[in-house]
Amino acid sequence: MSVRTKAGNGVEDAAEEARDSTALQWSARLGYGMYGVVYLLLGWLALQVALGERGSDVSKNGAFHQLAEQPLGKGLLWAAVAAFAALIAYELCQLVVGHRDKHGAARAAAAFGTLLRIGVFVLLAFSAAKVALGEPSKSTDSYTAKLMEMPAGPVLVAAVGVAVLGYAVWSVVKGLTDRWRRELDVEGRTGDVGRALTVLARLGYTSRGVAFGVVGCLFIWAALTHNARKSGGLDQAVTELRQAPYGPVLLGIVAAGLACYGLFNIAKVRHLQPKH
């Protein structure tokens, strides 16, 4: 066995031991719980927009600002940073050793999904830290404008839109095909608990897909019109949904779905299937 092979096996063994440790398993569960809290807040913000009670600030930063306004808000934000950091560590270990039972395209797809989750949790940890530190956040269209100025900028912006749209479709497919079941333990998949989580997951994943589908379309429209202001995150997507025919009703349904997705992730604190 070569030195390189021994080193690789040592890294895999360390990653597997860390992933299977009780401390990291429970830290990951709490991380999913915090992820669920973020989506609960997004659902609440979207509902307020649907009712015409506030402007469109339905974004991860909007959710973290809501968290900051609670008693011990800054402490909660730093707890969120720690929870997402634990999820990042957990998923990195999963990236190293979690897909050894798959081969070829299936393994590549599973690894890509893990990388996407890591990216989401890194973004959430970074956003929570910025809000905790009181740093101003940039709007999505400012980032899009910088991207648009690069060589082949509109193509890059369109590629972002297609990627987000693909993520939206994947979210809907995962929800409606019940692929999320493999993330839960036996109790979370059966009986009254299983039936309740089925409703939450199907509504949650589908609603999240609808919301991100609008986001993806906004990026593609911005690329086609060469106008960065046409792009946007969830806040802009919420505005577009509200302005559609029967917009407030549609947005209210999406808001309820986002809250369902949040509750589903909170349920993972109790029912997450350990990965071995």
Which residue bears the tokens 């029912």?
A: 271
Assigned domain for 30 exists: yes
Higher pLDDT, 236 or 249: 249
C-alpha to C-alpha distance for 96 and 147, rounded to whole angstroms:
32
Which of 47-51, 97-101, 253-257 is the least confident region?
A: 97-101
pLDDT for the residue 191? 93
Bridge partners for 184 per DSSP: 272
* Predicted confidence band of residue 33 (pLDDT cuts 50, 70, 90): very high
Percent of the residues in the chain that have a pLDDT greater than 70, as a whole number: 88
Q: At residue 54, does pLDDT exceed 80? A: no
Assigned domain for 131 exists: yes
Assigned domain for 276 exists: no
pLDDT for the residue 1? 47
Assigned domain for 202 exists: yes
Which of 23-32, 115-124, 224-233 is the least confident region?
A: 224-233
Which residue bears the tokens 């997402």?
A: 84
The parent domain of residue 11 ranges over 3-271
pLDDT for the residue 241? 80
Average pLDDT over the chain, rounded to an integer? 83
Single pTM value for the model = 0.84
pLDDT for the residue 15? 79
Higher pLDDT, 247 or 57: 247
C-alpha to C-alpha distance for 125 and 110, rounded to whole angstroms:
23
CA dist list (Å): 74 to 37, 62, 128, 263: 15, 14, 10, 23
C-alpha to C-alpha distance for 48 and 252, rounded to whole angstroms:
9
For the chain, how many structural domains are there in total?
1
Residues 6+ apart with CB under 8 A from 116: 167
Tokens standing for residue 172: 């809907």
